[in-house]
């Protein structure tokens, strides 16, 4: 039986990709802000509806550099969510800042904005929220708090590519917003990422950070790293971008079919794709199981049938082995509960309806069986 992964990378036609990379054998300009890099920045700005954008080698470095560009004093505190990919927390810690974990909302799993103020100290410099599964954070409340206390807001928008809120591109919110173009995401460049922002001065800062601080052949103005996107990656992006809307529609059709198929499965909390003023990208299909034991059983039973769901995000980043000693005992009750019961089911544009039926059948059977036991 063929394996069903939680996602499957979208690919352009082979011929189209080959045709587009052919000139690279002439120019030999393979990286360092080449033609395709520049073209992709222009096209992404238009698609995302953002004023400024800087392409990066991946989403993680985009986040690290967006934070670094703010020049926070070492040891400052950053309020963030533990219910995310470890990259979010790593980007804070690798900038020599201290993550301060805030609990999440039980209905959309984003940071609980009502608890942010209680965590602010004289050392707080920023908030790093995550639009997890493409669920948009309470951007208004976060902006108000940030304004009141003079904090920067850097959104991890890696799950929210192409989404809009209130008709504005999601990358317009906060001081900066970060996207990942990893192969597993709604839009990808194999590996890649971007920072979006509205303060034009940030462009040069990010440019220096991603290109060794080099401003001219004999002029190095800053201690930058190397986080440039190469031309092959940019070509993959240019081929994939025109397909994104169609792919989001295919995802939407499948997500809505899942919702119908799951009707009447007891105790399973389904995702809500009809949030006010949000254009969704249908990147993920997270379900909450009645308890941890059932979640793990569903995961195992799917696996036995070659279906690979994922426990995104378990454990919480505050419980990652590298952080647990410091942060394991925080009162993150909702995040703990969601993390222990959540399961992300396969969802991608080419997912077959028969395979979705198999997924739903296994989930239903497991919950019914475990429910009887309980």
Ligand X SMILES: *Cc1c(COP(=O)(O)O)cnc(C)c1O
Q: Could you say which of 37, 152, 159, 295 contacts ligand X (CB under 6 A)?
A: 159
Q: Is 228 in the site for ligand X (CB under 6 A)?
A: no
Rg (CA), the chain: 21
Q: Is 233 in the site for ligand X (CB under 6 A)?
A: no
Cβ-in-10-Å burial (0-12, 13-18, 19+) of 99 comes to: buried
CA terminus-to-terminus distance, the chain: 32
Q: Give least dist CB 182 to ligand X, A.
A: 4
Among 34, 59, 169, 174, binds ligand X (CB under 6 A): 59
Number of residues assigned to the chain: 374
Cis peptide before 315 (omega within 30 of 0): yes
Cis peptide before 317 (omega within 30 of 0): no
Taking the least distance from each CB to ligand X, the nearer of 130 and 154 is 130
x/- map, 274-313, ligand X, by CB under 6 A:
----------------------------------------
CB 263 within 8 A of CB 256: no
Residue among 309 and 366 whose Cβ is closer to ligand X? 309
Check residue 251 for interaction with ligand X (CB under 6 A).
Answer: no
Looking at 37, 60, 210, 358, which residue binds ligand X (CB under 6 A)? 60
**Minimum distance, C-beta of residue 365 to ligand X, in the bound complex (Å):** 30
Q: In the numeric block, which tokens belong to residue 293?
A: 């034991």
- Number of residue whose CB is nearest ligand X: 59
83: Cα within 13 Å, side-chain hemisphere: 26
Please state the φ and ψ torsions of residue 56, each to the nearest 5 degrees: -135, 170
Candidates 85, 187, 258, 282; binder of ligand X (CB under 6 A) is 85
Q: What residues numbered 39-58 form the site for ligand X, per CB under 6 A?
A: 58
Q: Which of 37, 182, 205, 228 binds ligand X (CB under 6 A)?
A: 182
Q: Is 234 in the site for ligand X (CB under 6 A)?
A: no
CB of 194 to ligand X, least distance (A): 10
The C-alpha angle with vertex 178 and arms to 172 and 182, in degrees rounded to 5, equals: 130
Instruction: Report the relative pairing of strands 52-56 and 193-197 from DSSP bridges.
Output: antiparallel
Select from 10, 54, 80, 88 the one that contacts ligand X (CB under 6 A). Answer: 88
Contact flag: residue 158 with ligand X (CB under 6 A) = yes
Q: What is the rounded distance in angstroms from the CA atom of residue 308 to the CA atom of residue 330?
A: 31
The reply to whether 156 sits near ligand X by the rule CB under 6 A is: yes
CB atoms within 10 A of CB 104: 29
Q: Of 130, 278, 289, 338, which lies in the binding site for ligand X, with binding defined by CB under 6 A?
A: 130
Residue with tokens 């980043």: 317
Binding site for ligand X (CB under 6 A): 58-60, 84-85, 87-88, 130, 156, 158-159, 180, 182, 193
């Amino acid at each position: 039986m063929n394996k069903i992964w939680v996602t499957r990378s979208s690919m352009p036609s082979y011929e189209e990709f080959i045709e587009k990379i052919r000139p690279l054998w002439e120019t030999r300009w393979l990286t360092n802000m080449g033609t395709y890099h520049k073209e992709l920045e222009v096209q992404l700005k238009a698609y995302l509806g953002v004023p400024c954008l800087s392409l990066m080698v991946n989403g993680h470095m985009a986040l690290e550099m967006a934070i670094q560009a703010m020049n926070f004093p070492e040891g400052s505190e950053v309020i963030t969510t533990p219910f995310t990919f470890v990259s979010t927390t790593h980007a804070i810690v690798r900038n020599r800042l201290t993550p301060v974990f805030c609990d999440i909302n039980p209905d959309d799993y984003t940071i609980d904005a009502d608890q942010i103020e209680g965590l602010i100290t004289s050392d707080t410099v920023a908030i790093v929220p995550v639009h997890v599964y493409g669920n948009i954070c309470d951007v208004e409340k976060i902006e108000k708090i940030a304004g009141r206390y003079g904090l920067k807001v850097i959104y991890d928008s890696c799950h929210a590519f192409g989404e809009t809120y209130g008709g504005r591109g999601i990358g317009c919110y906060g001081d900066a917003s970060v996207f990942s173009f990893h192969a597993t995401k709604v839009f990808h460049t194999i590996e890649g990422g971007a920072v979006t922002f509205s303060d034009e001065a940030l462009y040069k800062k990010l440019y220096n950070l991603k290109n060794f601080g080099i401003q001219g052949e004999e002029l190095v103005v800053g201690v930058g790293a190397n986080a440039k996107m190469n031309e092959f990656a940019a070509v993959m992006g240019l081929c994939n971008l025109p397909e994104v809307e169609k792919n989001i529609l295919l995802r939407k059709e499948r997500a809505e079919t899942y919702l119908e198929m799951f009707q009447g499965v007891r105790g399973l909390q389904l995702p809500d794709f009809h949030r006010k003023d949000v254009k969704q990208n249908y990147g993920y299909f997270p379900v909450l199981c009645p308890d941890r034991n059932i979640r793990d059983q569903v995961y195992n039973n799917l696996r036995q049938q070659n279906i690979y769901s994922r426990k995104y995000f378990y454990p919480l980043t505050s419980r990652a082995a590298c952080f647990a000693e410091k942060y394991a005992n925080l009162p993150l009750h909702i995040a703990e509960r969601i993390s222990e019961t959540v399961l992300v089911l396969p969802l991608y544009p080419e997912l077959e309806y028969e395979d979705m039926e198999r997924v739903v059948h296994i989930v239903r059977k497991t919950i019914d069986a475990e429910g009887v036991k309980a």
